[in-house]
Structure 1
Amino acid sequence: MDKALTDSLDRYIVKLQEAAEQLKSPRKYEFRLTKRNLPAIALKSATDFLAYCALVALFRRNIGALSEPSCVALIAVPPQWQLKDVHDAANIILKDKKGFKFCLHPSSKHKRGWEIDPAELLESGEKLIVFTQEGSILHEDFELAATLSDRLAVCDIRHLRALAIFRRCGNLTDEQGAVIAEQASERMEAIFRRDQPASRAAMKLLKVGKIAPGNERLLDVSKGFGEASVWADSLKKDLSDWRQGKLPWAEVDKGCLLYGPPGTGKTRFAAALAAHCDLHLEATSIPKWQSYKDGDLGDMLKAMYQAFGSAKDNAPCLLFLDEFDAIGDRAKFPSRHETYSTTVVNALLECLDGTEGREGVVVLGACNYPERIDPALLRSGRLEKHVRFPLPDAVARGEILEFHLPNLAGEAALREIAARLPGKSGADIERLAREARRIARKENRDVNISDVRSQVQVRPPLDAKTLYRVAIHEAGHALVSHALMLGKIEWVEIYDNIENFATTVDANGGMFMERPHREFLTRWDTMKMITSDLAGAAAEDLVFGHRANWSTGSQGSDFASATALAIRMVTEYAFGNSLYYLPGSVDMTSPPKLWEDLALRDDVTEILQEQYQRARDMLDGLKPTLLKLAEALVKYKRLDARQLEAYWPGSRKGMPPRSQRQKSGHQH
C-alpha cells in the first residue's frame, strides 16, 4: 500500500516536470520540480508533508505562470497555518532551484509603516513567491506587481490519508478528516503520532468542541467567566425571543464593552459567544482600522464603514471590536491629532447609532482600560452594557487547558492542575500547553499529564514561621473589616502548599468578603475601605515590628488598592483637603505621571498614613484576639463564616466539632 501511494505521488510530480518542459522552449527560465522522498518527508514532519502536498497541487494549477521569468506569486495561507510551515515546505520543493525568492508578508502594518520593502524584493529580477496570511492586508506594491494570486488548500483529505498511511495512523473518515483540516498546523504532530490512530484524536476533537463560524473549537461561555457568562446567557435568550417575534430589537442589548486585564481571553470569548448565540462573527480591531492601506483618515473611515456594512449584510451578527480603548477620548486628544481623532470618534458614534438601522447587529467591544474611551461611546444605545471580564476561574482554566490539549480532555488530573493555576490568564495557560506539546514533540509521542505538570511552577511549601506571618496578615484584614462592618466575611484561609493550595487567588492566603451594594459613599465609608486594605500590613507591623512585601508587590496588592481609592477620594469625590472635582485628571495606568500634582501627592500620603495608623491602633487593642485567630488559621488553614463567629471580639461561642469544620470547609 505504501509503495503504491508513493509511486502515485511520484508520477504526479513527474507530470509537473513534463508540463514545465513543454513550456520551456519559449522562455528563458523553466520551472521544474525535483523528485523527493515523500515517506521521509512525512515521517520527519507532518506539517512539512501536508504543506508540501498543498504546494505541489498549487504549483500544478499555475505551472504556466510560475514558469514565467518575471513571476510574482501571491499565495494566501489559511489563518490556522503558520507562514513558516509553508515556507519550509517550499524550500523542500525548490531546494535545488535558483532564481526563486520568498517573502513572508507581515500580517499587519506597523504604525511606523510596513516592515518589508517591496522595491528591494521586486528589483532583483528573481521569481518572487509571497506567502500571506489569508484575510490580512497586503502591501499595495505586491498587489500591483502580482502575476499570480491563489489560495493554498492545505489538509486535503487525500493528503491527510496519505500522511496517515506513511505514519501508520490508520484510516480516516471524511468527517474525521474535516475536523482535522480545521486545526492549527502546530497540532498536526499531536494528531498524527507514529503508530497511533489519528481517528482517536479526531473523535476527541469532535467530542469536546463545537465547530463554530470559522470552524474553530470553542469554549463554553455560559460558565467560568463571572458576569460575562451571565450576560452571555441573557443575550442568547433575548436573541431567541427576538427571532421568534416575541421581543422587539429595541429590547435587546445593542452593545457591550468587555474590560479587564490583558490575556484573559476576551477575543476567544467573542468567537465562542457568537456560536453560543448562533450569530455570524465579524471580528476586527481599532488598530486594524488605523493600519488599513496607508492609514490616513480616509482609509481609517473606509475600514470602519466596511466593518459595520459587512455586519449588517450578515445579520444577525456579532461585530467584535478588539482593543476598543485605542479609539481614545475627544477630551484628551493632543492638539496635533485632534482633528483626525475627533473625526474618527464622531464617525464611530454615527455607526453605533445606526441612522440607517443596525437591527440584528450586536456590537461587542473589548479593552484593558475603559477609562480611556470617550464617554459618548459608552452611553445607552451604543456600548451600553459594561461587563468586567475577569481572569478565568478554576472551571474556565480547565476548559482552556482542554481546548489546547484535546487528547487530554476529560482527565481529572488536568482539571486538578487547572485548579492550581490561580491568577493565570488564558494566554498564560495557552503558553503552558504549548510548552507541554513541545516536550512531547521532541520525544515523538503524545502529550501526557506529566508534560503539563512539568510546566507548572509550584509554589514552594511555607515554613512554620512564614505561614504564621501569613496568618497574622489575613487575621488583621478579617478583624478590622468585621469591626468596621464593611460586609459579610465568607471565609479566611491560608495555604501551606503541602496539603492546602490556592485555587481562587494567586497568593499565600486570602479573606473573602461579600460587600453590600451602596448607592452612595461618604468620606467615612471610603476611609474604612482603605483601613481594611492596610490592615494586613498593619497587623504584621504590630506583631513582628515590620511587614513583608506581599502587601505592595503587584497592581492588585493591598497598597495599590488603597492608593487608587485615595486618589479617587481626592480627584473625584472631593474628600481631600481641596474641594476640586477633576475626574480622569490622573492617568492611573502611568505611575510616573501619578505624582506630578504635588498637592494630590500630599493629600493621598496623608490619607494613607492616617488609615494605616488607624488599622494598627485598632489591632493593638485587639491583639489577643488577633493572635488567637492567627493560631487557628495555622492549625485549620480555613475558617468559614460560622467558624469565625467564635473569634470575633465579645463572642462566647466555642469552636464547632472538628467533623463539622471539615464538612463546612468542603462545602466551599
Structure 2
Amino acid sequence: MPDDTHEYDDDAVAALEALAPVPLSAEVALSQEALSQALSRGTRTLLKQPSLVIVVEVPSRDWVGPIGEALPKLASRIAVKTADELQRANKSDQRVGASTLQHLQAGRTVAYVSQDPEAILDEAVLAAADATIVIPPLTAALLRKVIRRVSKQTARGVTAEMAELPLPVILSAIRPGLPARASVANLTRALEMCPAPPVSSSVPLLSDLPLTSTLRSWTDQTMADLAAVRAGTLPADQLVYGVLEGAPGTGKTLLAESLARTAGWSFVSSTIGNWFTHGDGALGGVARNIKDFVDAVLAAEPCIGYLDELDGLPDRATMDNRARDWWTPIVNLVLVEIDRLRRSGKHVLLLGGTNFYTRLDAALVRPGRLQRRVTFLPPQDADEVIAFLRHFLADDLADTDLSPLVRFASGATPAAMEGWVKEARACARAAGRPLQFDDLLTQIVPEDTRSQADIRAISLHEVGHALVAHRLGHVVETLSIIPTGRSAGYTRSKLPGLLLNMEHIRDTATVMLGGRAADIVLGNGAHTGAEGDLEAATRILLAAYERQGLNDSLLYMPAISTRPDPSIVTAVAKDLRHLLDRAITMVNAERELAYDLADRLIASRILTGKEVADCLGDRLRPASGARRSAPLPDTRRMAS
C-alpha cells in the first residue's frame, strides 16, 4: 500500500516562505497607524537627527513592545530602549535607562518607550530628553484603520467600547486573511467575554437612592461630566477627583458604586489596609500593590476607582522622624500614581473615602489630586429622614404615616436606619406576621432596661450640656437619652462658627464640661459618664495652645516634639478646672429649670432643639469677642 505521507525538506519550506508575501499583522498595522497619527513632520525629522534623546509615552504597558519594534523602521540609526517597569536591584526598585545614554556618544539618537516615563525612567534620561512624543489611546476611528490595513476591507460596526478592550485582545481579534466583518465579530464577542469589572446588580441606581440635597447636586454634576467624557465632548483630565468624607455608615462606598453603575462605568476599589495584607507587607510589596491598583483602574476604563480608608495614609506633617522614614516613600508613591492617572488621558475618575478628612496629607487633597471634598451628613430634615426610611422599607408600611418616627430617627446614619429595618423585619418573621409600625418603633427606640436611677443621672448629665450650650449661644439641635452604640445619651449642638478664637474655644470646652457640672450640682456627684467629655475638652484646649497659636506663643509644638510641653499641660489642667467651676456656677444658678428639663427628657426620651429652647427661654449670652482666625478643632458638630 503506498505511503500517503510526505516529508518536506525544512530548507525547501523556508525558501517557499521567503518567496510568499508576509501578511501585515495587526500589531504592525496598529503601531504604524498610531505613530503616523502622533508624529508631526517636525517630530519625524527629529527621529532622524543624530544624538538626540526622545521619550515616547504610550497608553499602557501592552503598547511598549509594539511601538518599540516599530520605531527603528522610521529611522535606521535610532537606538530604542523599552521601559515598562522599574528594575529590581539591591532589594529596591531602581529607575532604568541611564546606561542606554551611551549611544549618544556614537552619534545615535536614543528613543525611550514607556507607559509612565516620569515614574520609570532615570532622572538623567528625563533631564536629557529633547522631546516627548505622546501616543494617544486607541479610538474607534484608529481601530477601523487598522482593520482596513490588515483585511483590505472597510470595517463597519466598530465602537468606542471595542477600542477600550485590552490591547492583546484587540490584536488577537484582527487576523490576516480574515474579512473585516469577521474581525469586528471577534471584537464583539470579546466585549461579551471580557467585560469591564461589573458593578453588582444589587447596587441601586442613583435614581433609586435617597440622597441629601448636597449629595444629589454633586452626583448630578458628576454624572453629566462622566457622560460628556464618554461622548468625547469633555477631556478626561477635566474630571474632578475627590474625597467622600463622613461618619461611618453614611453611605460613601455605596454611593461610589451606584455612581459607577448608573454611568455604565466599571468600578475598581481597594483600601489602604489591603495594600499591607496582600503580599509580604514590606515596602516593596506595598508599592507593587499601589501600582497594581492604578493599573487595574486604567485597564478597566471607563472606570471609577475608589480608595477607601484614605486616612490610613498618615499626614507627613504630623509624623515623627521614625515614622517619616518609612511612610514618606509610600505617601510619595501614592501621589505620583494619582498624577499618573490624571496624565493618562483615560476615562477614569478617582475617589477616596475617609471618616477623618482632617487627618489627610495636604498634598493628597490639593487641587489637581483629590481636590473636591464631598461631605456625607445624616438626613437633615423630616422629609429626608422619611425618604431614607421609605427606601429601606421598600413596599413595607407603604400606607403608614412615618412622621412620628422623625423625632427619634433624626441624626441617624443611613446604615443605622437600614439596621433598624432589618431587625424589625426579623422580629416580624419570628412572630409569623407582616411588618408592623411598632416593630420599627421598637428598634429605633428600644425598651429601656436601665434602672430609674441611671436614667435620671444620664438625663441630668445631658441637661447640663444643653443648659450651658444654650446660655453660651450654641444652638442645641437634639437632646436624647436613647442609647446609641457606646453612648448612653447625647446632646447635639452647633459650634458658633467655622473660625474660633480663644473665647469660642473656652466656651466650647465649658459646654463639654456642662455634663460633669450637672453631675456635681444636680446629681449624686462626679461619675464615669464624663470620660468622653473630658477627653474632648482636653483635646481642643491642647490644640489651641500647641497648634493654633491661641496662647502667648506662636510655636507649632508638634514640629518640635511629639510630647506636650509640661508647662502647656499645666496650663490646660488649670483651664479645665476654671471652666468646670464656670459651668458649675451656670448650672447652680438655674437648678429648678434644669430639673424641669430633665423631667421632660425622661418622659419624652428625646427633645428637639426647639423644645429645649422653649423650656430654657431666651436668656442667653451670645459668644462674643475679637475674632482671631483659628482652625476648627475637628468638626462643626459636637455630640457628647
Q: d(CA) in 1 for partners of 2:596 and 2:385? A: 36
Q: What residue in structure 2 maps to residue 44 of structure 1?
A: none
The 3-state SS of whatever aligns with 2:557 is coil
Within the candidate set 643, 648, 653, 2:617 is matched to 648
Shift, 1:448, TM fit: 5.3
Distance 1:399 1:623, change over 3 A: closer
Shift, 1:314, TM fit: 3.7
User: Is residue 2:524 matched to residue 1:536?
Assistant: no
The 3-state SS of whatever aligns with 1:606 is helix
Q: Give the 5 Å matches for 1:121-520.
A: 213-218=199-204, 223=210, 228=215, 231-240=218-227, 252=239, 254-262=240-248, 264-330=250-316, 341-354=327-340, 356-358=343-345, 360-390=347-377, 408=396, 410=398, 412=400, 458-460=446-448, 472-486=460-474, 489=475, 493=479, 508=489, 510=491, 512-513=493-494, 515-518=495-498, 520=499
User: Is residue 2:589 matched to residue 1:609?
Assistant: no
Q: d(CA) in 2 for partners of 1:491 and 1:292? A: 45
The 3-state SS of whatever aligns with 2:507 is helix
Within the candidate set 536, 543, 547, 1:572 is matched to 547
Q: What residue in structure 2 maps to residue 70 of structure 1?
A: none
Within the candidate set 501, 509, 517, 1:522 is matched to 501
Q: d(CA) in 2 for partners of 1:459 and 1:468? A: 16
Q: d(CA) in 1 for partners of 2:279 and 2:314? A: 21
User: Is residue 2:607 matched to residue 1:620?
Assistant: no
Deviation track 1:105-125 (CA, whole Å, cap 9, x = no partner) reads xxxxxxxxxxxxxxxxxxxxx
Shift, 1:381, TM fit: 1.3
Q: d(CA) in 2 for partners of 1:639 and 1:421? A: 11
TM-score of the two chains, using structure 1 as the length reference: 0.50
Q: d(CA) in 2 for partners of 1:546 and 1:638? A: 25
Deviation track 1:177-230 (CA, whole Å, cap 9, x = no partner) reads xxxxxxxxxxxxxxxxxxxxxxxxxxxxxxxxxx98232232758645685555
Q: d(CA) in 2 for partners of 1:646 and 1:408? A: 37
Q: What residue in structure 1 maps to residue 534 of structure 2?
A: 559
Deviation track 1:618-650 (CA, whole Å, cap 9, x = no partner) reads 333444554565566667874654983674366
The 3-state SS of whatever aligns with 1:485 is coil
Q: d(CA) in 2 for partners of 1:414 and 1:485? A: 33
Shift, 1:395, TM fit: 8.4
Q: d(CA) in 2 for partners of 1:477 and 1:333? A: 35
C-alpha RMSD of the superposition:
5.0
Shift, 1:527, TM fit: 0.8
Q: Structure 2 counterpart of 1:644, which letter?
A: A
Asked if 2 retains the 8 angstrom alpha-carbon contact of 1:474 and 1:510, the reply is yes
Q: Structure 2 counterpart of 1:327, which letter?
A: L
Q: Give the 5 Å matches for 1:583-598.
A: 583=558, 598=566
Shift, 1:251, TM fit: 5.5
Deviation track 1:344-391 (CA, whole Å, cap 9, x = no partner) reads 322211121236334542211123444554331121211112344456
Q: d(CA) in 2 for partners of 1:239 and 1:584? A: 42
Shift, 1:463, TM fit: 8.0
Asked if 1 retains the 8 angstrom alpha-carbon contact of 2:471 and 2:619, the reply is no
Deviation track 1:469-528 (CA, whole Å, cap 9, x = no partner) reads 566545543443343334xx3655556xxxxx7899975464544x4533x322111111
Q: Structure 2 counterpart of 1:648, which letter?
A: G
In structure 2, stretches of 5+ residues that fail to align are: 1-196, 621-640
Q: d(CA) in 1 for partners of 2:403 and 2:426? A: 21
Deviation track 1:101-160 (CA, whole Å, cap 9, x = no partner) reads xxxxxxxxxxxxxxxxxxxxxxxxxxxxxxxxxxxxxxxxxxxxxxxxxxxxxxxxxxxx
The 3-state SS of whatever aligns with 2:294 is helix
Q: Structure 1 counterpart of 2:349, which letter?
A: V
Shift, 1:600, TM fit: 4.4
Q: What residue in structure 2 maps to residue 546 of structure 1?
A: 525
Asked if 2 retains the 8 angstrom alpha-carbon contact of 1:325 and 1:369, the reply is yes
Distance 1:410 1:247, change over 3 A: farther
Distance 1:647 1:296, change over 3 A: closer
The 3-state SS of whatever aligns with 2:334 is helix
Distance 1:535 1:440, change over 3 A: closer
Q: d(CA) in 2 for partners of 1:563 and 1:606? A: 11
Q: d(CA) in 2 for partners of 1:642 and 1:452? A: 24
Q: d(CA) in 1 for partners of 2:220 and 2:307? A: 20
Distance 1:649 1:283, change over 3 A: closer
Asked if 1 retains the 8 angstrom alpha-carbon contact of 2:466 and 2:479, the reply is no
Asked if 2 retains the 8 angstrom alpha-carbon contact of 1:436 and 1:455, the reply is yes
Distance 1:471 1:302, change over 3 A: closer
Q: For the pair shown, which has the larger CA radius of gyration, 1 or 2?
A: 2
Deviation track 1:558-597 (CA, whole Å, cap 9, x = no partner) reads 434323212211221233575531358999xxxxxxx876
The 3-state SS of whatever aligns with 1:268 is helix
The 3-state SS of whatever aligns with 2:364 is helix
Q: d(CA) in 1 for partners of 2:540 and 2:259? A: 34
Distance 1:313 1:452, change over 3 A: same
Within the candidate set 548, 551, 556, 1:581 is matched to 556
Q: Structure 1 counterpart of 2:354, which letter?
A: C
Q: How many residues align?
A: 418
The 3-state SS of whatever aligns with 1:376 is coil
Distance 1:334 1:226, change over 3 A: farther
Q: d(CA) in 2 for partners of 1:236 and 1:327? A: 28
Q: Structure 2 counterpart of 1:477, which letter?
A: H
Q: d(CA) in 2 for partners of 1:629 and 1:332? A: 43
Q: What residue in structure 1 maps to residue 178 of structure 2?
A: none
Asked if 2 retains the 8 angstrom alpha-carbon contact of 1:422 and 1:505, the reply is no
The 3-state SS of whatever aligns with 1:573 is coil
Asked if 2 retains the 8 angstrom alpha-carbon contact of 1:321 and 1:366, the reply is yes
Distance 1:483 1:431, change over 3 A: closer
| Aligned-pair identity (%) | 25
Asked if 2 retains the 8 angstrom alpha-carbon contact of 1:534 and 1:562, the reply is yes
Asked if 2 retains the 8 angstrom alpha-carbon contact of 1:226 and 1:389, the reply is no
Q: d(CA) in 1 for partners of 2:602 and 2:280? A: 63
Asked if 2 retains the 8 angstrom alpha-carbon contact of 1:628 and 1:647, the reply is no
Shift, 1:250, TM fit: 5.9
Distance 1:469 1:456, change over 3 A: closer
Q: d(CA) in 1 for partners of 2:556 and 2:530? A: 30
TM-score of the two chains, using structure 2 as the length reference: 0.52
The 3-state SS of whatever aligns with 2:307 is strand
Asked if 2 retains the 8 angstrom alpha-carbon contact of 1:219 and 1:400, the reply is no
The 3-state SS of whatever aligns with 1:273 is helix
Asked if 2 retains the 8 angstrom alpha-carbon contact of 1:572 and 1:582, the reply is yes
Q: d(CA) in 2 for partners of 1:484 and 1:426? A: 32
Asked if 2 retains the 8 angstrom alpha-carbon contact of 1:577 and 1:603, the reply is no
Distance 1:233 1:608, change over 3 A: farther
Q: d(CA) in 2 for partners of 1:402 and 1:639? A: 22
Q: What residue in structure 1 maps to residue 74 of structure 2?
A: none
